[in-house]
Amino acid sequence: MKLKFLALVTALTSAASLAQADVKVGMITTLSGGGAGLGIDVRDGFMLAIKQASRDDIEVVIEDDQRKPDIAVQLADRMIQSEKVDILTGIIWSNLAMAVVPSALAQGKFYLSPNAGPSQLAGKGCHKNYFNVAWQNDNLHEAGGAHANSTGYNNTFVLAPNYPAGKDALTGFKRVYEGELSGELYTKLGQKDYASEIAQIRASGADSVYFFLPGGMGISFLKQYADSGLELPLVGPAFSFDQGILQAVGDAALGVANTSQWSKDIANPTNEAFVASFQAEYGRLPSLYASQGFDTANLLISAVDVADVADADAFQAALKAAEFASTRGDFSFAENNHPIQDVFVREVIKEGDIYTNKIVSTALEDHSNAYVAECKM
């Protein structure tokens, strides 16, 4: 009896706030193994936003995919079939996203990507229930090309791992870059020794280097590059200069230009509050992954406020409106549900004992992506 009464009160109070419904979110992200730092940051950013909004009508189920596509698929099946989630989110890696997202969408679920943005899901495979809150994979590399142009580099050496996102990266860079390439190398995925590549850069006569080597690969490359005595300017996307790995690179990263849609010094009230509260909550500075998790949760909350997730059309419209305060400042969705946003050039600096980034310029303003025309929704 008492329970029933409580349930009634809860129902009444939630009905009081506009069109509010209970929403179940399944977060599949990488919490163990080599790439765990990224998933942990996305999760922590996401949960911080939920906590700040004190939303107990949004339930989040979190599972670890161990960076393995087969495990991610199993988790997605379980979340959709037995946990009955309405919305999936959390995946870091493009290959995992390609394994999970299309089938989740086919089952009528929503997917909000806090990181992976493979071109397949932006172009022909775009979907009205798929929203990417981070970027389309090519974006930061396109900004790298724009930065090389504006700095006047015209003989850049480019390298990336030999796998789809690595090829997308160099394609993105070359799409915008106008100069010559002094060399183009594809390294092994997961490679940690770059002595051979650095020797080739030295011999190539390049005037600058653009590299996409995420995670541990980037740490290794930067340390070895600094030790090689080569002094050509380096440019890369933010993934090699993320807050989580900068301390491991140390001085070798100082002064390197990197492209990002987010930085902790973007001056807007949302971002300032986010950086301060993230630091207070977790005792470390947020990374771009944390900001992406935070923005994803806030986008979700903004949509839940105005539409019922069971009404798919209304919920799509609510998400697409992107009526939330982003840590990045201006944010809206392009036709294919990928961000239109500024991409900045940051430089690695040292603040006290902490290595971090500061914005030095804007590489691309209100930048969309190259796949909008291919998307027919």
Cα separation of 317 and 326, whole Å? 18
Q: How far is the CB of 17 from another protein (least distance, A)?
A: 37
Q: How far is the CB of 175 from another protein (least distance, A)?
A: 13
Residues facing 210 on adjacent strands = 158, 235
Toward another protein, which CB reaches closer, 34 or 255?
34
Q: Does 74 bind another protein (CB under 8 A)?
A: no
- Does 36 participate in binding another protein (rule CB under 8 A)? yes
Q: Name the 3-class secondary structure at 348.
A: strand
Choice from 83, 178, 193, 311 touching another protein (CB under 8 A): 193
CA–CA dist 16, 117 (Å, integer): 37
Pick from 264, 269, 266: nearest CA to 242: 264
Give the residue among 225, 163, 104, 236 at the shortest CA–CA distance from 113: 104
3-state helix, strand, coil in the chain (%, to 5): 45, 20, 35
> For 82, phi and psi rounded to 5 degrees?
-95, -30
Binding residue for another protein, selected from 70, 227, 330, 374, defined by CB under 8 A: 227
* CA distance to 2, 140, 142, 155, 181, per residue, from 178 (Å): 71, 16, 11, 10, 9
Please report whether residue 354 would count as binding another protein according to CB under 8 A. Answer: no
Q: Point out which span in 136-144, 180-188, 345-353, 361-369 binds another protein (CB under 8 A).
A: 180-188
The size of the chain, in residues, is 377
Using alpha carbons, select from 246, 289, 285, 284 the residue that is nearest to residue 39.
Answer: 289
CB of 171 to another protein, least distance (A): 9
The single residue among 81, 103, 196, 279 that binds another protein, judged by CB under 8 A, is 196
Binding positions for another protein, 197-216, rule CB under 8 A:
199-200, 202-203, 215-216
Single-letter amino acid, residue 282? Y
Hey, what amino acid is at 62?
I
Sole binder of another protein in the list 53, 62, 248, 372 (CB under 8 A): 248
Name which position in 103, 150, 162, 279 contacts another protein (CB under 8 A): 162
User: Which of 102/164 has CB closer to another protein?
Assistant: 164
Give the closest residue to 340 by CA, choosing from 367, 374, 370.
367
In whole angstroms, how close is the CB of 320 to another protein at the nearest point?
34
Q: What is the DSSP string of 251-273?
A: GGGTT-EEEES--TT--SHHHHH
Q: How far is the CB of 111 from another protein (least distance, A)?
A: 25
Site track for another protein across 255-294, x = CB under 8 A: ----------------------------------------
245 near another protein, judged by CB under 8 A:
yes
Binding residue for another protein, selected from 20, 89, 187, 291, defined by CB under 8 A: 187
| Number of residues engaging another protein in binding (CB under 8 A) | 40
Q: Least distance (Å) from another protein to the CB of residue 194?
A: 9
| Secondary structure (3-state) at 180 | strand
Region 6-35 residues binding another protein, contact defined as CB under 8 A: 32-34
Q: Is 228 in the site for another protein (CB under 8 A)?
A: yes
- Of 108 and 205, CB closest to another protein: 205
- Bridge partners of 348? 357
Nearest residue (CB) to another protein, 37 versus 144: 37
185: enclosing H helix or E strand: strand 180-187
Question: Given its phi and psi angles, is residue 235 left (phi above 0), alpha (psi -120 to 50 degrees) or beta?
Answer: beta
- 117 makes contact with another protein (CB under 8 A): no
Identify whether the C-beta of residue 257 lies closer than 8 Å to the C-beta of residue 28: no
Residue 170 CB, nearest approach to another protein (Å) = 8
What is the smallest separation between the CB atom of 159 and another protein, expressed in angstroms? 9
Is the CB of residue 243 less than 8 Å from the CB of residue 286? yes
CA distance 292 to 299: 10
Question: Which residues lie near another protein (CB under 8 A)?
Answer: 32-34, 36-37, 40, 162, 167, 170, 181, 184-188, 190, 192-193, 195-196, 199-200, 202-203, 215-217, 219-220, 223-224, 227-229, 244-245, 247-250
